Structure 1
Amino acid sequence: MWCPEAGKPVIKFNHCQRSIYGFSVPERCPLCQQSVHWRKLEEAPVSISNPFTNGHREKCSFLLRPTQGTFLRDYDGRSDLHVGITNTNGVVYNYTIQGVHRDEAGWEQSVSIPLLQPNMYGLMDQWDKYLEDFSNSGAWLPHRYEEDHCNCYSYTLTFINCVLSTEGQERLDKNDFTEKYVLPRTRKVSKYITLYRAIEEHGFHVTDSPQPEASTP
């Protein structure tokens, strides 16, 4: 089902020996103006994997979104990102200069990184308590906020490392977590945004170059 917050669905089909991307499949090819039909299964339309999700529907996840605006409308690849952690009900805990927030709205167009495996029932049962107790500690009071050292990213990563320590697992430093989990997703986001905006501007986009991974509907 299409979620308005995630933008319009993007469709890819092949015609005129090119890959054509749009928000729907036209009756006629925008390149040759001939009726669109496919002789081979691999030429048929496929949907492009959307990197965004409604963060309030995600349990026990690390979320990213632009500090201002949304990914599709405002993100330029250099804009500041805000991050948070969801509880089991999709409430997003995040830290700003005002202290810890518990957002029930505002993260409808996010990038989500699940933090638990589906079979980790014991930890999931304790997750909300861990997150609430952690957020109530004196370390995250408003006056302790520092843009470079004590910020939303350090809040989320410190919580993740507290959970890892509780489970007897090795802690992650900021560079490891960013390189392994965050950068692959933000690169995919940037490619998707470029493609999406090109379709918005021209009505379709044509390329022979690799684009975001396609998945059949």
Structure 2
Amino acid sequence: MEKKSVIKFSHCEKDIFCFFVPEKCPECGVSFSSGRLEEAPIRIPNPFSNGHKTPCCFLVAPAEENNLREFDGGSDLHTGITDTNGVVFNYTKPGVRQDQRGWEMCISIPLIQPDMFNLLNQWDQYLNKFSDAEMWDPAYKRFDKETHNCYNYTLMFLNRVLAAQGKGSLTKDQFTQSFVLPKIKRACKYTTMCREISQNYFYIVDSPVNTS
């Protein structure tokens, strides 16, 4: 489901989130026709992107079993790696899939810088060779939700790339805590906010106390 743009403005010591700025404050009823906003409204960045338009990235998306296909903080997630054309390589029970659609709303984490030309030129070769390895063949080793899964596949590929660059590997905890978890938390918060606005038109919280 495509997310609408969320707008934030502040009034009467409240942060108010909505899809459009109303004519009056939903908290106190004061009209904004005279420009009585405390500051200009800002647009909250959407944490989701179209994975097929973000090459050479680590992707996180709701698993197919998640019927709502949303980040709600409790449902299973699925991970993949994009090639230079936006095809998503992801490991499932039948083996490695190459998806050309289905990852239109996901979390995207870039894995290489635009100026890393040598790695860009070899990215697809690395990804195809890695995905063809025997360990991802279900006839050789079966998918296991805990020990041999989509996350193992994506993290192992990332570490192969780091090794090719002469860099140290990342543990699952290091990568999760530093790169994945902060983005998942932001996505869950954004999803909750959108759901609240869709149901009640506004999402209202106390403004942070200014201690300066």
- TM-score when scaled to structure 1? 0.87
Larger helix percent = 1
The residue number in structure 2 matching 1:44 is 40
Structure-2 change in CA distance of 1:209 and 1:195 (3 Å): farther
1:133 shift after superposition: 0.9
Structure 2: gaps (5+ residues)? none
SS, match of residue 43 in structure 1: coil
Structure-2 change in CA distance of 1:71 and 1:111 (3 Å): farther
SS, match of residue 109 in structure 1: coil
SS, match of residue 16 in structure 2: strand
Partner Cα distance (2:125, 2:17) in 1: 45
Partner Cα distance (2:12, 2:68) in 1: 29
Structure 1: gaps (5+ residues)? 211-217
1:73 shift after superposition: 5.6
**C-alpha RMSD of matched pairs (Å):** 1.9
The residue number in structure 2 matching 1:198 is 196
The residue number in structure 2 matching 1:107 is 103
Matched, 1:132 2:145: no
SS, match of residue 142 in structure 1: coil
Are the counterparts in 2 of residues 94 and 156 from structure 1 also a CA contact under 8 Å? yes
Matched, 1:182 2:169: no
Identity within the alignment, % = 49
Where do 1:18-29 residues align within 5 Å?
18-29=14-25
The residue number in structure 2 matching 1:10 is 6
The residue number in structure 2 matching 1:214 is none
Partner Cα distance (1:70, 1:203) in 2: 26
Q: Which amino acid aligns with 1:178?
A: T
Are the counterparts in 1 of residues 70 and 191 from structure 2 also a CA contact under 8 Å? no
The residue number in structure 2 matching 1:76 is 72
Q: Which amino acid aligns with 2:56?
A: C
- TM-score when scaled to structure 2? 0.89
Give the count of matched residue pairs: 205
